[in-house]
Structure 1
């Protein structure tokens, strides 16, 4: 499997480093910020496109699947010691918990948040707001995907442990078992959604059954599959012949992602209205097209030389890299930034679509909040990660801590 093309470029010796991922997070975070702005100021002609920018969620899920699963998969495929779950959990907690709790409290006290200080406090502060239909939109309404991320964090070590129980012979045998298992995980997730949608006991727009990890495991599985593919490439030392074209033309996956975005925006019969109901076919079509978008956007940062092609040069832009560094804060504070502008009386009426003013101004305010969050809260919390060592230089460890998924502020799956 995964035979190398002798004529393809050799893999960088530092194959565990993926320097463009911060920019991917920036793209995802800004797309979600833009879809929130589209709720309040966009023309009917552009509304379907603005609403579908929520596909940034899928980009985040693919990123998390890749970066978090890669160390576990590498330890199994290469026969290394498994990562310490305690250290993994500690790092996940430091990355997510402190900044979220500070944002939830500060925004709740300054702007007011529905249900924050009532009987549902344990759910809101415990990353469990999706467990009840009445609390899905409470607290930080965009926090529903954090609940999914947290459950994925808990699921991943269990999955990795189960995979280690599958005895394989050589590298190729273990690789085949990874591919088969991840394909099965993808199919199970799709089957779960089909079963829920066919049950007739749901609301397609918002429901705890669909706002749960099983619904999104297919998107995580794509990222996990990319992780396994990257390990295969690392093992062979060069790209397989079939993937060399992505190294030479990294724009191809992005073109596929753009076509999927166009299809999700225009071919499913959706108008982009806030809380628009879906038919089961529309829900599934939208979800699977988002998965294609997530996979397409992330792929050039995984396959090929990180300095080759226009797409990768865009991803290497220092501004994007910085925005990716603070992307968790953008996720946490972008709706609050929009609300703050509204309360300050910002109400543009330009001769063009107001959406194109709302986005940069909201982004500027959100970036200020996010920068403060990163340097005052997140960076200080992450400095504690060495209290629980993961062990000396774990092979396959991500270059940066994966940021959580940034959810859309409008339609929730």
Structure 2
């Protein structure tokens, strides 16, 4: 039986309403983007191309969600001046969330079936690039998810695995940021400055690298631009790393801080008009990225994703436990897609590559895209379900809360937020990431 949906500050161990739905939408949107990119490539130059570009921002949403969910318990601890969550349990939970399902998918697709990139994504979809990995060092690097730090192995293996390397890097860096923030807070007696410091630094790092990449690729051929961002180059190592995606995590961290500061002031609900304003602002930011600031489209999409996240997770002031947006996202098909979003992420591109190399796609234009989409979904959904129910869920059941609730403390305000934020991080399924992200 599924645990009941709860508002933003759930009781111990319950999930955060609407999060699975957001992940489900993001996972399916990225699937269709990759379908257009790889299998129905002609649609990228037509009017559907704009829609597919928007679908690609599902990856952005995953990074933002991860920053929000994982930073929130640390932010609460920093602002409260208390102890940090259990770092040992935090590390164990992150490993359980990422590695079991990844190792199974990698072994099956890259070593058995032969639906992985041998040379890298910029080398095309021919038989010389899509197949089984045989280089022992390459296999070992991919199993450890360090292939993205080695130029000759960039974008090899599972096409989506570069994002896992960035995600794991965030896992490792986040406790270090939190520890330094705690030290700054104690030294300066300014907890808010300490809490805001690293989210702002993350945003500045990501924006800076985006602007640098845009400047460095001016005048280059499309092939050279692809190699710069996704090829076997040191620039691709940098841009696909945590540093290249830093602002996306940062926007989620800022959203977590906003929520925590609201709770510090005992503000737990917002009016419908504010929610509408947040959604309108998100739409405006996205339109700005598409119209006049295309080099910063992904960065602006991160801002929009954070605004949408706030509008979804904050209950309305009318007294309902969850708002209407979260209620829609709790619709069973959307929530199930969210629950299996990580497995969908792992399997959908190998399925697409397998279909292409076996000449089973029904066409490569806009008219064939719905049929291709149904075909990919029909193959991906069973694989994702098997992966989720027999690998992911058993592994996640071994996860433990990274903090213990103190039943002697009141269940409201900042003290309650400390406990519930840690529960969100431990028990809300992690916002995972998709591939072919920022170019």
- Preserved CA contact (<8 Å) 1:67 1:398: no
Give 1:107 deviation, angstroms: 1.1
Structure 1: state its 5+ residue gaps. Answer: 1-9, 269-281
The SS at the match of 2:171 is helix
Aligned-partner Cα distance in 1 for 2:262–2:152: 46
- Preserved CA contact (<8 Å) 2:329 2:335: yes
Shift in CA distance, 356/261, structure 1 to aligned 2, threshold 3 Å = farther
Give 1:229 deviation, angstroms: 1.2
Aligned-partner Cα distance in 1 for 2:262–2:391: 37
Alignment of structure 1 residues 96-107 onto 2, 5 Å: 96-107=98-109
Q: What CA deviation, in whole Å up to 9, does each residue of 1:158-197 have, x standing for no partner?
A: 00000000135999x4234323442233223323444455
- Preserved CA contact (<8 Å) 2:16 2:428: no
- Preserved CA contact (<8 Å) 1:11 1:234: no
**Equivalent of 1:375, from 361, 371, 389?**
389
- Preserved CA contact (<8 Å) 1:197 1:204: no
The SS at the match of 2:155 is coil
Residue 112 (structure 1) aligned with residue 139 (structure 2): no
Aligned-partner Cα distance in 2 for 1:412–1:220: 13
Aligned-partner Cα distance in 2 for 1:267–1:49: 17
Give 1:238 deviation, angstroms: 1.8
CA RMSD of aligned residues (A): 3.1
Q: Give the number of equivalent residue pairs.
A: 381
Shift in CA distance, 236/364, structure 1 to aligned 2, threshold 3 Å = farther
Aligned-partner Cα distance in 1 for 2:93–2:197: 29
Q: What CA deviation, in whole Å up to 9, does each residue of 1:197-244 have, x standing for no partner?
A: 5567985432111111112111111111111111112222225xxx94
- Preserved CA contact (<8 Å) 2:8 2:17: no
When normalised by structure 2's length, the TM-score is: 0.77
Shift in CA distance, 357/248, structure 1 to aligned 2, threshold 3 Å = farther
Q: Which residue of 2 aligns with 1:71?
A: 73
Residue 330 (structure 1) aligned with residue 347 (structure 2): no
Aligned-partner Cα distance in 2 for 1:286–1:77: 32
Aligned-partner Cα distance in 1 for 2:391–2:65: 23
When normalised by structure 1's length, the TM-score is: 0.81
- Preserved CA contact (<8 Å) 1:307 1:313: no
Q: What CA deviation, in whole Å up to 9, does each residue of 1:380-406 have, x standing for no partner?
A: 2222224xx634237122433443532
Residue 291 (structure 1) aligned with residue 290 (structure 2): no
Of structures 1 and 2, the one scoring higher in RCO (CA 8 A, sep 6+) is: 1
Alignment of structure 1 residues 131-210 onto 2, 5 Å: 131-167=149-185, 173-195=190-212, 198=215, 203-206=227-230, 207-210=236-239
